[in-house]
Each structure stands twice: as C-alpha cells, then as structure tokens.
Structure 1
Amino acid sequence: MKRYTLIIILLVLTVKQTFSQNLLITEVQRDSIVSKILRGNQAQEENVVLKKQIIVKDSVIAVCSTVISIQKNSINLQQQQLNNSLMIIKNQKEIISNEKKRARKKGFSGFLKGVGVGAALVVGFSFL
C-alpha cells in the first residue's frame, strides 16, 4: 500500500511540475510564439506558390529543351545538305575535267581521220 501511495505522490508531483512549467511562459514569449506560428503559416502558403512556380518553370525548361533539340537536328540536316552540295560540285568538276580530256583525245583522233580521208581523196583524185 505504501508503494502505491508513493507512486501516486510522484505522479501528482510530475503533473504539477509540468503544469507549473506552462505558467512560466511570459506574455512576450507567448506573443513571440504566436508570431512564429503566423510566420510559419505564411511560409507554408508561399511554399505552395513556389512549388507551383517550379512546376511551371520545369514545363518551360522541357519545352525549351525540345526546341533546342529540334534546332540541333535542323542544323545537322543543313550541314549534311551543305556537305552533299560540296561533294556534288567536286564531282561535277571531276566530270568536266574528264570530258575535256576525252574531247582532246577525240579531237586529235578526229583530226588524224580527217587528214587521212583528205589524203585519200587527194590521192584518189590524182589517179583519175
């Protein structure tokens, strides 16, 4: 029985001590606590707004990165077209030089044929 009374006395003392600690808060401290709670609520509201702005910013970044990738693809395509055009020009120059060489050869052989035909005609008419 003494044990139970001792436990009850200890419990009452701890409850009384806890209650008395609440009474030690001054009015200035209460005002400070209330202002901190209000600032915390305001910060939570601002946090919601900032989270929405971050979501919007992320969507804008996604759109911009898509546009950038499209522009990079366009640049690569134009670079490839330029390279193909330069290769075509180079090949055309080679074809032209080859045709000039063939024309010179044909021209000289044509000249020789013409001289041969002319000589044959002169010789043929001279026998007549």
Structure 2
Amino acid sequence: MPSEDHLTPFLEAMHEGDIARASEHLSETVELNSPILPTPFKGRASVVAVLAELLSTIDAFEPRMMMRDGADVIAVLTIRFEDHVIDAFDHVRLGPDGRIETMTIAWRPLPAVVAVQQRLVPKLGGTAMRLVPVEQ
C-alpha cells in the first residue's frame, strides 16, 4: 500500500501557499481533473502552474479531513474566495512511492465554482464561463 507521507505535506503546503514545497509531492506524470476546465492538466509542470494560479486567486485553502482506501484518498477541503465558501472533495490516487498520480476535484456550490472559474481560467489562457439562470 502506498504511503501517505506525500499527501499530508502536500495539503499542508497548499494551505500555507507554498507551491514549491507542494510540487515535491506530485508525480512527474500527475494528472489533474479540475472543475474549471473540461480537459485535464497533465504533467508536473502543467499541474504546478494551475495550482500556483489557484493559490494566487483564492483567499484560503483549508484541509479538513481525509478518507482512505488503499491508494485512493478523498481529501475534504474548504476553499474561500471573496464572499464564497466552497466545499471541495479531491479524489487523489497515490503512486507506489506515495506521490500524487491523479487528482479529480469536485466543488460546490455551483455559483462559487463559476466565480473562481471566471477569475482563474483567463490566467490559464482559457475562456471564463457564466452561470445564467433559466427564465421561467
């Protein structure tokens, strides 16, 4: 079973805003499936760039708890952005050396996700989205 030695320090580094330290805990071939863009980010350099922009955009990244089943871990987090509080659930798959191989991120509520997406995605070269209510 992979060690958790990399996940806890990764989350602590993200909480502290230390992207250099966080990057040490990612596999070279890490893949990030994010709620902000439909295509995954692949490779350590790409994922680190996204995480760095995320940390420069949000106000707080607060790990809450972890649940584990073998190499699969669910990290429950709170992300704060302006007046939004986001519930985040990260499905993390650890490699044999304990480094993070994949992260699939789920956030709620939708208006808060869209608010972060609007601020973050243009920094990454993408197009911001809008949440448009359906007229009844």
TM-score tier after normalising by the smaller chain length = under 0.3
Q: Which structure has greater helix proportion?
A: 1
For normalisation by structure 1, the TM-score amounts to 0.16
Question: Relative contact order, CA 8 A, sep 6+: which one is greater?
Answer: 2
For normalisation by structure 2, the TM-score amounts to 0.16
Larger Rg: 1
